[in-house]
Chain A
Amino acid sequence: MSGRLAMGFLLGLTLAVGAAPAEPPSYRLDDYQSPVPATLNGQPALDVAQARALWDAGQALFLDVLPHAPRPEGLSPATVFVDKPHVSIKGAIWLPDVGRGEVSARTETYFRQALSALTAGDFSRKIVIFCKRDCWMSWNAARRAQSYGYSAVQWFSEGIEGWREADLPTEIVQPYGS
């Protein structure tokens, strides 16, 4: 069976398995990896083709919000800690942890400053936010960016899995500002 046909199966089953959950009134606080709504503030999520069109046009800022656990403070120096390479959409900026339901003051400042620098202060800049498929962190982060006043935020709910399944370009990225 071809990958495309299998994808069709997958999408068909997704629809058959049950409707997407409704949008909650506020941020999702836990159980981040579970079925997500179809919309962000009523606006439909981007599908792979739409995300690709925006990527091809080269105008949108792609933000990956997958969390990143750094080497723990207090870990014995001799202990092996594996920081696995993170594969993202080619050209995307990785802003770890900004999609948690509640964020520390430091993470909040990090997100605001990164957005400001990356958009050069243009609140109407197209922004595409993603992480993995069925990951509420991207939904949270997109909602949060909107709350900061960014008016052209879109949510790519298929995330890196959808992108990779379509064989679109990827690269290994490092957290922004690290």
Chain B
Amino acid sequence: MPNRRLLLHCALLLPVASFACSAHAAESEETWTGLKAMFFADKPIDEAPGYVTLDAPPRAEDAALVPVELKFPPREKGDRVVAATVIVDENPAPLATVFRRGPVDDAAFDFALRLRVNSYSFVRVVAETESGALHMAKAYVKAAGGCSAPASKDPDEAGANVGKMRFRSFAAQGMAQAQAMIRHPNYSGMQMDQITRMYTPAWYVTQVRVSQGEALLFSLENGISLSEDPTFRFSYVANGQPVRIEARDSRGGAYAQRFSADGAAY
């Protein structure tokens, strides 16, 4: 939760004494310095344009549902992005997801997901190209409490629907995009049960694969920072082949469903 009085102070004092707020509101790279070494060792990461962009709201309406969109523009063969790691610096479990594309073509690819953001933080994406080079984009998001926000559904309801899926194509709306949704409480392990006042153990979708016919569109390996009912929107052009969504969760649950190319369930 943002500190309202502090924010007010920041707004009023910014011209004369912004340092008074710096401990709270500063966009600091300090956390990233440690995380970079942890996740990428000493591999160089630049912020060269043209590989990936990241769009996120500067101030999130709901810290447990922060929309983040990655866009991968077209690149020359050999320099195309094949994977992307999404990190929320200040989340206790910073690695949100590792996204991997299936066979890449020369077209642009967009991918949107929803994240939990626990405190004011950079959200960043590190894209990896076919040649193994790393290129980063980032955005600063003011949101707090996303990892510990109470679940929106009670445990019985969430449990009854776990693993149900939806697939929808937006071709009729003139967009070459589709959306995949997996019903899952995606408990972060940091949410307090409203009755027992104890932490609800983590239970979350760890792996996702979305395929079109035999071809993998993308796969994900997730931490606990994805929002409840993980939902992804991505570039999609129907080719007559059915779409298959597969998911695994941290308790060993495995779920799969097949849809027709235009989004109707089989």
Interface residues of A (CB under 8 A from B): 1, 6-7, 9-10, 13-14, 17, 31-35, 69-76, 79-84, 100, 102-104, 106-107, 133-134, 161, 164-165
Whether A69 contacts B94 by the Cβ 8 Å rule is: no
Q: Besides the contacts A33-B3, A74-B187, what 17 more A-B pairs have beta carbons closer than 8 Å?
A: A6-B16, A10-B9, A13-B9, A17-B5, A33-B1, A34-B3, A34-B4, A71-B189, A72-B189, A72-B202, A73-B201, A79-B95, A80-B38, A81-B92, A82-B92, A82-B93, A134-B4
Task: Say how far B131's CB is from chain A's closest CB, in angstroms.
Answer: 26
Task: Say how far A26's CB is from chain B's closest CB, in angstroms.
Answer: 16
> Which residues of A sit under 8 angstroms from B212, Cβ to Cβ?
none
Whether A13 contacts B12 by the Cβ 8 Å rule is: yes
Q: Is B48 an interface residue (CB 8 A)?
A: no
Whether A74 contacts B203 by the Cβ 8 Å rule is: yes
Among B93, B189, B202, point to the contact of A80 (Cβ < 8 A): B93
> Which residues of A sit under 8 angstroms from B2, Cβ to Cβ?
33
> Which residues of B sit under 8 angstroms from A164, Cβ to Cβ?
23
Q: Is B251 an interface residue (CB 8 A)?
A: yes
User: Beyond A10-B9, A17-B8, A106-B198, is A74–B3 a contact (Cβ under 8 Å)?
Assistant: no
Docked complex Cα distance between A19 and B216 (Å)? 60
Docked complex Cα distance between A166 and B190 (Å)? 33
Task: Say how far B16's CB is from chain A's closest CB, in angstroms.
Answer: 6
> Which residues of A sit under 8 angstroms from B23, Cβ to Cβ?
161, 164
Whether A104 contacts B20 by the Cβ 8 Å rule is: no
14 CB-based A-B contacts, threshold 8 Å: A7-B20, A10-B9, A13-B13, A14-B5, A14-B9, A31-B1, A35-B5, A73-B199, A75-B189, A81-B92, A82-B93, A84-B92, A104-B198, A133-B6
Whether A107 contacts B190 by the Cβ 8 Å rule is: no
- Minimal Cβ-Cβ distance residue in B for A100: B197
- Minimal Cβ-Cβ distance residue in A for B144: A33
Q: Per-residue CB proximity of B192-211 to A under 8 Å, as 1/0?
A: 00001111011100100000
> Which residues of A sit under 8 angstroms from B147, Cβ to Cβ?
69
Q: How many A-B residue pairs have CB under 8 A?
A: 101
Among B8, B39, B93, point to the contact of A75 (Cβ < 8 A): B93
Q: Is B260 an interface residue (CB 8 A)?
A: no
- Minimal Cβ-Cβ distance residue in A for B24: A161
> Which residues of B sit under 8 angstroms from A70, Cβ to Cβ?
199
Task: Say how far A164's CB is from chain B's closest CB, in angstroms.
Answer: 8
Task: Say how far B111's CB is from chain A's closest CB, in angstroms.
Answer: 22
Whether A32 contacts B1 by the Cβ 8 Å rule is: yes
> Which residues of A sit under 8 angstroms from B1, Cβ to Cβ?
31-34
- Minimal Cβ-Cβ distance residue in A for B18: A6
> Which residues of B sit under 8 angstroms from A161, Cβ to Cβ?
23
Among A10, A80, A102, point to the contact of B95 (Cβ < 8 A): A80
Q: Is B17 an interface residue (CB 8 A)?
A: yes
- Minimal Cβ-Cβ distance residue in B for A105: B197
User: Beyond A10-B9, A74-B251, is A79–B199 a contact (Cβ under 8 Å)?
Assistant: no
> Which residues of A sit under 8 angstroms from B144, Cβ to Cβ?
33
Q: Is B223 an interface residue (CB 8 A)?
A: yes
Docked complex Cα distance between A35 and B148 (Å)? 21
Among A31, A32, A72, A165, point to the contact of B224 (Cβ < 8 A): A72
> Which residues of A sit under 8 angstroms from B40, Cβ to Cβ?
none
> Which residues of A sit under 8 angstroms from B4, Cβ to Cβ?
34-35, 134
Task: Say how far B63's CB is from chain A's closest CB, in angstroms.
Answer: 13
Whether A75 contacts B202 by the Cβ 8 Å rule is: yes
Whether A74 contacts B202 by the Cβ 8 Å rule is: yes
Docked complex Cα distance between A133 and B5 (Å)? 10
> Which residues of A sit under 8 angstroms from B199, Cβ to Cβ?
69-70, 72-73
Q: Is B129 an interface residue (CB 8 A)?
A: no
